[in-house]
A and B are shown apart, each in its own frame.
Chain A
Amino acid sequence: MDIPYDIEPRPSTGLHNARLGVLLFIASETMLFGALMTSYVFLRSSATDWTGGAGPPGAAPAIANTILMAASSAALILGRSQFRRGNPGRCRAMLFAAMALGLAYIAVTVFTLDALLAKGIHPATSTYAGIFFVLTGLHALHVAGGMVVLGMLLTPRADVIPGRFRNRLGDLAVYWHFLTAVWLVTFPALYLP
C-alpha cells in the first residue's frame, strides 16, 4: 500500500508526513525536557544547600560534549548537503562521522557519571546530583536513540529510494539539532556555578 505524501510534501502542510510526525514528537520532547528544567529551577531556587558537597564535575568533559554535539550536528548538515549534490559516498562519510561523534558524546557522558559514582556521588546524594544524573542520562539516552536511526540510514540499501532517504536524513537532522539545542541549555544549567 502506498502511503500518500511519503516522499512529496503534503499540500496543506508543506511537509511530508514523517517530518510532521517528527515535529510533533519534538514538541512532546520539549515538554519532557521543559518539565525537567522546571524541576531544576524549582530545586535550585528553593535549595538551601544546592550541591550538598557534590559540586559540578570538571568543566572539561562538558566542554568536550558541547563540541561533540555541535560537530555531529554540523556533520549531519554536511551529509544532507552532499546527498543533495549527488555525492552519496561523501554523505555516508559524513554520517559515519556523526555516528562517531555521537558515540564519543555518549562515552564522555558515561565516563562523567561513572567518575561521580566512583566518588560516592549518586542521585540520592543531593538535589543537584539527582537532577544532574537525570538530565545528562536522559539526554545521552536520546542521543543513543538517534544513533539507532543513524545506523539504519547507514545500512547498504537505505538509499535505494533517494527521495525517501533524503527525507529520513532530514528528519534525523531535525531531531539531532533539537538534541544539540537541549544540550546547550542543559550544559550551563548543570555545570556553571
Chain B
Amino acid sequence: MKSRPVDGTPGASRSGSLPGRFAAAAAAALVWTAVAPATVTACPSCYGSASGPVIDGMNAAVLVMLGVTGAVLSWIAAFAVRVARRERSAAGREEQR
C-alpha cells in the first residue's frame, strides 16, 4: 500500500490539501453544532460549575490517575536511566581493555 503524503504536495490531491481538509472539518463541526446543539454543550463539571460531590469525586479521581500514571512513568524513566548507566559502565570497561 502506498503511503499518502499529509502535506499540500501534489501527491495529496486525492484527499485535498491540509488547509482544505481543515476547513471541511470546521464546516462539518459548525453544521453539527447548528443541527444538534445539545450534543456539544459542556457538562456542568467541564463547564466549571461551582462544587458538589461530582466535582469532589472528579478531583479525587484526577489525583489518583495522576498518581498511577506518574508511578508508571517514573518506573520507565528509572529503567531508562539504569540502561544508560549500564551501557556507560560497559563502554568504560571496554575502553580499559
Which A positions have Cβ atoms within 8 angstroms of B? 11-14, 23, 27, 30-31, 34-35, 37-39, 41-48
CB-CB under 8 A from A43, the residues of chain B are 57
- Cβ of B22 to closest chain A Cβ, rounded Å: 32
User: In the complex, what distance in Å separates the CA atom of A44 from the CA atom of B54?
Assistant: 10
Interface size class of B (residues with CB under 8 A): 20 to 34
9 closest pairs, A vs B, by CB? A46-B57, A34-B68, A45-B57, A42-B61, A46-B54, A38-B65, A42-B57, A46-B53, A45-B60
CB atoms of B86 and A13 under 8 A apart: yes
- Cβ of B26 to closest chain A Cβ, rounded Å: 32
Report whether over half of chain B's contact residues are helix, strand or loop; otherwise say mixed: helix
Check: B82 CB closer than 8 A to any chain A CB: yes
CB-CB under 8 A from B83, the residues of chain A are 12-13
- Cβ of A62 to closest chain B Cβ, rounded Å: 22
User: In the complex, what distance in Å separates the CA atom of A39 from the CA atom of B64?
Assistant: 9
User: In the complex, what distance in Å separates the CA atom of A12 from the CA atom of B54?
Assistant: 47
CB atoms of B53 and A30 under 8 A apart: no
Partner of B53, one of A27, A38, A41, A47: A47
Within 8 A of A (CB), among B50-97: 53-58, 60-61, 64-65, 68-69, 71-72, 75-76, 79, 82-83, 86-87, 90
CB atoms of B53 and A45 under 8 A apart: yes
Partner of B87, one of A12, A23, A30: A12
Partner of A44, one of B57, B75, B76, B86: B57
Q: Which of B68, B71, B76, B86 has the most CB of A within 10 A?
A: B68
CB atoms of A27 and B75 under 8 A apart: yes
